[in-house]
Amino acid sequence: MRIRAALVDMPGGPFTVHEVELEEPRADEILVRMTATGICHTDLSMRQAWPPERLPMVFGHEGAGVVEAVGEAVTTVAPGDTVCLTYRSCRVCAQCSAGEPAYCEHSALLNAGGSRPDGSFPLSRVGGAPVRGSFFGQSAFASHCLTTESNTVKIPGDIPAAVAAPLGCSVQTGVGTVRTVLRPEAGTALAVFGAGSVGLSAVMAAVAADCPVIAVEPIASRRALARELGATAVVDPAGGDDVVSALRDLTGGGPHCAIDTTGRPAVISQAVHALRRRGTLALVGIGTAEFATLPVLTKGLTIRGVTEGDAVPAVAIPQLIGLYRQGRLPLEKLITEFRFGDIEAAADAASTGRVVKPVLRAD
């Protein structure tokens, strides 16, 4: 079938919308008509670093939509179902079998290979030239995409599409890092470094857990939003604040837990120095971590890498929807909607920090 998709034709190049061909679903595949897709920092960073020999490429991995067709082996969803898309896992390796699909042993192949696992391409230009895709098992920057059961979760049809879209990545990462990984008791002090969609999702989860939470964020509008969402305090790292001293003062000796969403060495170092003894640092952001090990050793810190909030999507996404319905996860406050055709403007707004979570709506 002929669809519309946003292609990246060169490393760091713009998203440009084209008509392309999409194959019919295979036996284990699901055809989804997209209603909304979030733009994630991962999409923006990967288009910068994606190898030129693996272009053109369709990114996008925070999709929501409606099932239009399923292969004969698919049993968990049916045509007409409203679905949320998330990361793909193999479901059979040791990690998947142990209930940890976020650490699937075949994750790189399934989510960032640019093709199906067998090397084939479901997308092509009109006329036949292949187009890379299958990003996170979806490539949701398109009017339609092919998914599989492992990364397609049925959701209630009354959830706004723009709210549903980011549940499968940024929201489950931020919320899951608090609820599943750190599991703080009420009253436990948290610091969140970076108040983007992941960080603010973590703030909301901490507030829902009755934990004081401090957001460290250089953009004033995001600090204000963190406050609105219930943050106990905010710290401006670009405004002359001594971040470490401020966090220690605000928490009576340092936070018990910290979450870094930035991946920046200097920020991670601040988190390490601010944490109180026996504290825990969750690393969520992608980057190069360089920090002194002495305070880690002398304070007995735990440093934990986290992928997708350790989420099992079929379990986590319904829980997130429950929190949203209760008013404890007001995701609409993070979202700015754009037309799908305006994807490059939406990406620019995200890159410059003018919006927190841009969501593309079907034209």
pLDDT digits (tens, 9 = 90+) for 257-272: 999 999 999 999 999 9
CB 3 within 8 A of CB 23: no
pLDDT score of 287: 82
pLDDT digits (tens, 9 = 90+) for 95-144: 999 999 999 999 999 999 999 999 999 999 998 899 999 999 999 999 99
> For residue 289, is pLDDT > 90?
no
The DSSP call for residue 179 is I
Q: How many CB atoms lie within 10 A of CB 180?
A: 20
pLDDT band at 363 (very low <50, low <70, confident <90, very high): confident
Q: Which amino acid is at 245?
A: S
pLDDT band at 327 (very low <50, low <70, confident <90, very high): very high
pLDDT score of 239: 82
All structural domains of the chain, each given as residue ranges with its CATH number in brackets, are 2-154+330-361 (3.90.180.10), 173-307 (3.40.50.720)
Percent of the chain past pLDDT 90, that is, above it, reads 96
Average pLDDT rounded to a whole number, residues 227-238:
97
Q: Considering only CA atoms, which of 357, 267, 249 is closest in space to residue 258? A: 267
> For residue 45, is pLDDT > 90?
yes
Residue appearing with tokens 């995001």: 222
pLDDT score of 288: 78
- State how beta strands 233-235 and 213-216 pair: parallel
pLDDT band at 305 (very low <50, low <70, confident <90, very high): very high
> For residue 319, is pLDDT > 80?
yes
Percent of the chain past pLDDT 70, that is, above it, reads 100
Q: Tell me the pLDDT of the chain averaged across its residues.
A: 96
335: β partners: 357
Average pLDDT rounded to a whole number, residues 17-28:
98
pLDDT score of 171: 98
Q: Please name the residues in contact with 129: beta carbons below 8 A apart, sequence gap of 6 or more.
A: none
CB 72 within 8 A of CB 57: no
Q: Please name the residues in contact with 4: beta carbons below 8 A apart, sequence gap of 6 or more.
A: 17, 18, 19, 20, 142, 143, 340, 363
pTM (2 d.p.): 0.96
Q: How many CB atoms lie within 10 A of CB 237?
A: 18
Q: How many CB atoms lie within 10 A of CB 15?
A: 25
